[in-house]
């Protein structure tokens, strides 16, 4: 892998063996071999153009919806949050770069008198992550608002793509291979700023009432199965409050696994497995993970899932 000294002329921050526990909302995860936070899209393109083709590459926003195993990542992590943070609007069109937190998009649009994206206030991730998984909250989903997206490939070449180039489903998106989202163009509606801000406040209050927002988690661990809710099935299986080490099923919302302060990634992964197995045994439904698991387990911590 190229060393920082060989990346001359590159702006941003490039770190070696950076602990991913600093960059995930679960507050766990071993070191990434290389960790790059670009200064902007131009530097990201330059970095990718110099990256060896066989180097494993991972993209991280706010680190929600992500479990990095304790052995870390044998590859390169690109951090978009705090880096790809541009946001502008022209009429009812809003352009937001991949590193912009979804909640910030919701507030920005409300101030601009643009409505329809208030639900973004309840998504604990970035625009890039929302695009990658068709994130949703409070009955809204990302892709119905997308007019176009900007992507970048392994060579650092940028592309503009249309929604019809992607297959979009519930918490799933697939499209052109070897490309990653760097910005979205959302088509919204003109509306009332005060009403939009009031709606955002209402949604955030509901989130705080019903979710363990004061404890480290990834957000929802499992997708809702058709016609049901993962949280209902987990609670009906008697799993609320069940712990493995410092990882516990939240007593506030059963589809959240929280780090009570001492959890390891292996303990969280074991609890995810236990929850899925128990629900399947009790209800005949195999829950599908919404949370992504990446990286290497430590030899003594290997978990099958």
Report the distance separating Cα 172 and Cα 131, nearest Å: 9
Token pair recorded at residue 287: 């829950």
pLDDT > 70 fraction of the chain, expressed in percent and rounded: 96
Task: For residue 288, give the DSSP letter.
Answer: P
For the CA atoms of the chain, what is the radius of gyration?
A: 20
Q: Which of the listed residues 79, 101, 131 is the one where a domain comes to its end?
A: 79
Distance from chain centroid for Cα 228: 23
Report the distance separating Cα 31 and Cα 140, nearest Å: 35
pLDDT the model gives residue 281: 98
Token pair recorded at residue 224: 């809702």
Report the distance separating Cα 152 and Cα 182, nearest Å: 7
- Token look-up 């790059």 returns 36
Instruction: Please give the positions annotated as active site.
Output: 171, 220, 290
| Section 38-61 average pLDDT | 94
**With contact defined as beta carbons under 8 Å apart, do 97 and 41 qualify?**
yes
Task: For residue 248, give the DSSP letter.
Answer: E
Q: Which of the listed residues 33, 59, 79 is the one where a domain comes to its end?
A: 79
**With contact defined as beta carbons under 8 Å apart, do 262 and 36 qualify?**
no
Token pair recorded at residue 122: 């309840």
Residues 292 and 197 in one domain: no
The whole-chain average pLDDT of the chain stands at 94
Is residue 139, in this structure, part of any structural domain at all? yes
What CATH number corresponds to the domain at position 57? 3.30.43.10
* Domains of the chain: total: 3
Residues 118 and 202 in one domain: yes
**Domain limits at 173?**
87-210
Is residue 260, in this structure, part of any structural domain at all? yes
Say if pTM beats, i.e. exceeds, 0.85.
yes
On the question of pLDDT at 1 being above 70, the answer is no
Render pLDDT for 123-155 as a digit per residue (tens, 0 to 9). Answer: 999 999 999 999 999 999 999 999 999 999 999
Render pLDDT for 55-101 as a digit per residue (tens, 0 to 9). Answer: 999 999 999 999 999 999 999 999 999 889 999 999 999 999 999 99
Report the distance separating Cα 249 and Cα 279, nearest Å: 13
**With contact defined as beta carbons under 8 Å apart, do 80 and 125 qualify?**
no
Between 10 and 288, the more confident residue is 288
Neighbour count for residue 88 (Cβ, 10 Å):
10
Render pLDDT for 2-22 as a digit per residue (tens, 0 to 9). Answer: 454 356 678 999 999 999 999
State the sign of the Cα–Cα–Cα–Cα dihedral 233, 297, 130, 247: positive
Is residue 152, in this structure, part of any structural domain at all? yes
Residues 259 and 288 in one domain: yes
Distance from chain centroid for Cα 82: 14
What CATH number corresponds to the domain at position 185? 3.30.465.10
The pLDDT-based confidence of 263 (bands split at 50, 70, 90) is very high
Residues 280 and 170 in one domain: no
Report the distance separating Cα 203 and Cα 143, nearest Å: 20
Residues 91 and 193 in one domain: yes
Classify strands 93-97 and 189-190 as parallel, antiparallel or unpaired. Answer: unpaired
Is residue 225, in this structure, part of any structural domain at all? no
Strand-pairing partners, residue 114, are 190
pLDDT the model gives residue 46: 94
Closest of 205, 71, 57 to residue 138, by C-alpha = 205
Distance from chain centroid for Cα 93: 23
Strand-pairing partners, residue 243, are 248
Would you call 10 helix, strand, or coil by DSSP?
coil
């Amino acid at each position: 892998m190229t060393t920082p000294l060989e990346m001359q002329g590159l702006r941003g921050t490039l770190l070696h063996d950076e602990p991913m526990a600093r960059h995930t909302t679960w507050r766990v995860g071993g070191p990434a071999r290389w960790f790059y936070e670009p200064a902007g899209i131009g530097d990201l393109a330059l970095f990718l153009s110099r990256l060896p083709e066989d180097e494993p590459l991972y993209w991280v926003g706010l680190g929600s919806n992500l479990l990095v195993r304790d052995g870390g990542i044998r590859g390169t992590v690109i951090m978009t949050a705090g880096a790809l943070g541009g946001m502008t609007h022209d009429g009812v069109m809003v352009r937001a770069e991949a590193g912009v937190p979804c909640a910030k998009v919701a507030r920005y649009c409300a101030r601009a008198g643009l409505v329809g994206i208030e639900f973004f206030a309840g998504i604990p991730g970035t625009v890039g992550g929302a695009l990658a998984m068709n994130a949703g909250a409070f009955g809204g989903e990302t892709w119905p608002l997308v007019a176009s997206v900007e992507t970048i490939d392994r060579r650092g070449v940028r592309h503009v793509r249309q929604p019809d180039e992607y297959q979009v489903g519930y918490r799933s998106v697939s499209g052109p291979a070897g490309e990653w989202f760097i910005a979205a163009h959302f088509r919204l509606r003109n509306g009332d700023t005060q009403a939009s801000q009031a709606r955002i406040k209402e949604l955030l209050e509901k989130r705080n009432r019903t979710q363990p927002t004061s404890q480290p988690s990834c957000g929802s661990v499992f997708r809702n199965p058709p016609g049901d809710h993962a949280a209902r099935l987990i609670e009906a299986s008697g799993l609320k409050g069940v712990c493995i080490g410092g990882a516990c099923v939240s007593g506030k919302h059963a589809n959240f696994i929280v780090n009570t302060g001492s959890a390891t990634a292996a303990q969280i992964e074991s609890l995810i497995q236990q929850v899925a197995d128990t629900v399947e045994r009790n209800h005949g439904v195999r829950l599908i993970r919404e949370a992504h698991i990446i990286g290497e387990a430590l030899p003594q911590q290997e978990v099958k899932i």
